[in-house]
Amino acid sequence: MKAMVLNRLCNLKEERQPLVLQEVPKPKPESDEIVVKVTACGVCHTELDEIEGRTPPSQLPVILGHQAIGRVVESGNQAKRYRLGERVGIAWIHSACGQCTYCHAGLENLCREFRATGRDAPGGYAQYMTVPQNFAYKIPVVFSDAQAAPLLCAGAIGYRSLRLTGLQNGQRLGLTGFGASAHLVLKMVKHRFPDCETYVFARSARERDFARKLGAAWTGDTGDEPPKKLHGIIDTTPAWKPIVEGLKTLAPGGRLVINAIRKEESDKDHLLKLDYPQHLWMEKEIKSVANVARRDVTEFLELAARIPFIPEVEQFSLEDANTALLELKERKIRGAKVLMID
């Protein structure tokens, strides 16, 4: 089968073609696994973190991609959950131990044996992939393959982030950065909390314009001061500055949720520092988001189908995965980028 393979870690400023199109063996299922013929796979900022070594794969070479949509073409002898030909999605959570306290509590995202799709197991930048049957998800018929792909990460992690803010109807939410995840959060807020206002902070004028078109109450640059204090903020950026700037805009008792696996280091980071009275006083909180649990993916897909809301997508061929990744690195974003796979 064809796959875009990462053979070595590199800096995308120096290496413009980090992935190589290769012929690799078609995977065989374990007893509880299904084989999925991939038709679409979303492109995520986490893949940049993997390529550049901030979230390194557990082994190389590796096939990236954790927002995969496809059809079941083969099942292991104990995998009875899905029929052949049934459409499923595969998200960042590839598997967990199923035995620990966290797994029993529905918090598989915190399991010590958590394995990530496209990092610890081969991902969706390929024609075929495998996944344990209990970590695949039925895709609502309202979505095309391309529309469904970003829901599996950008949507699910956005859903978890919104839940962790503790936002109540009538409060104000801030979004720092406005890519694939944030634009879905804005749509969720408008549906679930109709009396809430959303404030968007983004460096790009294009992203700010996009946010206004989707109903943001206010938009500004990263360091701009909004007209009102915010009860919650979700940070979706790879940088540290939005954290420090965002804390200044929180209302007393507000919570900033960091929706990012890693933060990139900048030459100017040493200039950033927390000022206790300005940034943390009055019981402000900072909370990280660690991966997603199966509950997040399942509940979000159900919510997205009920609304329904359709994510904005840009489509690329599998062979153009490097182009999509570089555009993501350079913040050339309008919605979510999706690879379409023959």
Question: 51 and 30, same structural domain?
Answer: yes
21 and 111 in a single domain? The answer is yes
**The CATH number of the domain where 103 resides is what?**
3.90.180.10
Residues 336 and 214 in one domain: no
Tell whether 280 and 301 lie within a shared domain: no
Tokens of 180: 């694939």
CATH code (residue 270): 3.40.50.720
Tokens of 265: 């280091």
For residue 16, the enclosing domain spans: 2-153+292-340
* 146/7 same-domain check: yes
Residue 202 shares a structural domain with residue 264: yes
Are residue 61 and residue 210 in the same domain, yes or no? no
Other C-beta atoms lying within 10 Å of the C-beta of residue 78: 12
pLDDT per residue rounded down to tens, the chain (342 residues): 999 999 999 999 889 999 999 999 999 999 999 999 999 999 998 999 999 998 999 999 999 999 999 999 999 999 999 999 999 999 999 999 999 999 999 999 999 999 999 999 999 999 999 999 999 999 999 999 999 999 999 889 999 999 999 999 999 999 998 877 888 899 899 999 999 999 999 988 888 998 999 899 999 998 899 999 999 999 988 888 888 899 999 999 999 999 877 776 665 665 577 777 788 778 899 999 998 999 999 999 999 999 888 888 999 999 999 999 999 988 787 768 999 998
Q: How many domains does the chain have?
A: 2
**Terminal-residue alpha carbon distance, the chain:** 11
Residues 37 and 63 occupy one common structural domain: yes
Do 284 and 181 share a domain, yes or no?
A: yes
Tokens 């859903």 locate to 159
278: DSSP letter:
I
Whether residue 232 sits in one domain with residue 165: yes
Output the DSSP codes for 235-297: E--S-SHHHHHHHHTEEEEEEEEE--S-----TTGGG----IIIIITTT-EEEE--S--HHHH
**Residue 249 Cα to chain centre, angstroms:** 25
Whether residue 92 is found in the same domain as residue 205: no
User: Do 238 and 105 sit in the same domain of this protein?
Assistant: no
Amino acid letter for position 174 = G
Residue 175 phi/psi, 5° resolution? -125, 120
Read off the pTM. Answer: 0.87
